[in-house]
């Protein structure tokens, strides 16, 4: 059986290949394709979003392949129509956003994904952003490197706030949110969570308090976003919701740029209505040079790095290889995106 390991410069083809060989042995024919991400930004390709590479190069590389394991390869209607042997696409991401799922289903191709692959990395990064924004770490670092000693940050009006005793609201309580909550509790924070899909009893057992979104925003001095981006959650935190935050609240978004309406934030930061903002994701990536928040005070930015650890890459490869193994053995996939497609290799 021919398998394509369509990696990139993060989840490398060699990692995918090694994981496949460990899972399946060397009886399968594994070929490799290297896509340009992250040296080139991902973006729309054909009819899918957040993909890397071109349809043509993927079609050429897939010639005769039954399985493809990948992170970023574009799987469009055209790719599926051009690759009749293909039966499984195992995507090593938290969601198969680079796959046209209706097209995959029409062409009888099973699709899987890799939930939780970057949960530890993303949770750690969210905590890092939170602390950096609350304690002005990057601002103090930049000022000192320019030769300015910011002793005035010790003045009461300029001093930061602690997590110990703070109320922190988490919008989204999936794999990442649960790790963030555990770390916050270790710091001594009170944790509120809002997630319509989370079991309230299980949340309470985790020593967090499930509440409605408006209550969470009103009560939290720090808010961190961890929800998925869907049509329902786009601009979930808009100007109306931002107005509910306590004066000087800290806002963190390391989930998806579309969850947050960035438009009102420059003015809210300049007035002190929002005390600090830390973001790793944007409505347009990368943000343009004239993005208003580049000039706003108390803003911490990072270039979508929350999941960027070597462990994430290894977990991603292992999860997709395990799905390929289940498929080859005719077992049910652990993380199917279109379970209506018959699983297992076809004769």
CA dihedral 209, 215, 218, 220 (to 10 degrees): 20
- Contacts of residue 72, defined as CB under 8 A and 6 or more positions apart, other chains included, come to 6, 8, 35, 37, 42, 50, 51, 52, 53, 98
Q: Which residue has the tokens 């997590």?
A: 163
Q: Tell me whether strands 110-112 and 88-91 are parallel, antiparallel or unpaired.
A: parallel
Is 124 a known active-site residue? no
Using alpha carbons, list the distances in angstroms from residue 279 to 242, 258, 282. 15, 12, 7
Catalytic one among 136, 226, 256, 326? Answer: 256
Is 285 a known active-site residue? yes
Is 256 a known active-site residue? yes
Catalytic one among 87, 136, 178, 304? Answer: 304
Catalytic one among 158, 285, 294, 331? Answer: 285
Q: Which residues are known to be catalytic?
A: 256, 285, 304
């Amino acid at each position: 059986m021919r398998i394509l390991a369509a990696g990139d410069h993060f989840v490398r083809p060699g990692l995918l290949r090694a994981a496949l060989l460990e899972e399946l042995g060397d009886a399968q024919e594994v070929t490799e394709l290297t896509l340009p991400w992250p040296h080139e930004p991902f973006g729309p390709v054909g009819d899918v979003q957040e993909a890397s590479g071109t349809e043509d190069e993927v079609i050429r590389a897939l010639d005769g392949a039954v399985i493809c394991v990948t992170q970023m390869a574009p799987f469009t209607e055209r790719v599926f129509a051009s690759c009749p042997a293909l039966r499984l696409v195992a995507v090593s991401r938290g969601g198969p956003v680079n796959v046209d799922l209706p097209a995959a289903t029409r062409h009888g191709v099973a699709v899987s994904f890799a939930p939780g692959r970057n949960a530890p990395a993303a949770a750690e990064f969210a905590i890092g952003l939170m602390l950096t924004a609350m304690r002005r770490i990057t601002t103090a670092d930049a000022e000192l490197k320019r030769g300015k000693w910011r002793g005035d940050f010790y003045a009461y009006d300029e001093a930061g706030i602690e997590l110990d005793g703070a109320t922190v609201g988490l919008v989204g309580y999936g794999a990442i949110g649960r790790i963030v909550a555990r770390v916050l509790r270790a710091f001594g924070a009170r944790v509120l969570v809002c997630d319509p899909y989370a079991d309230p009893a299980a949340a309470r057992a985790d020593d967090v308090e499930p509440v409605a979104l408006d209550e969470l925003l009103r009560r939290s001095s720090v808010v961190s976003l961890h929800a998925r981006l869907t049509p329902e959650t786009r601009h979930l935190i808009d100007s109306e919701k931002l107005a509910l935050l306590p004066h000087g609240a800290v806002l963190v978004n390391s989930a998806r740029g579309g969850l947050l309406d960035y438009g009102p934030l420059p003015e809210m930061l300049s007035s002190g209505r929002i005390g600090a903002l830390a973001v790793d994701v944007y409505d347009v990536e990368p943000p343009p040079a004239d993005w208003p928040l580049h000039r706003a005070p108390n803003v911490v930015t990072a270039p979508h790095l929350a999941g960027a650890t070597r462990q994430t890459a290894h977990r991603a490869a292992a999860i997709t290889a395990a799905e390929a193994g289940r498929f080859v053995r005719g077992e049910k996939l652990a993380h199917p995106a279109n379970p209506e497609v018959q699983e297992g290799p076809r004769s």
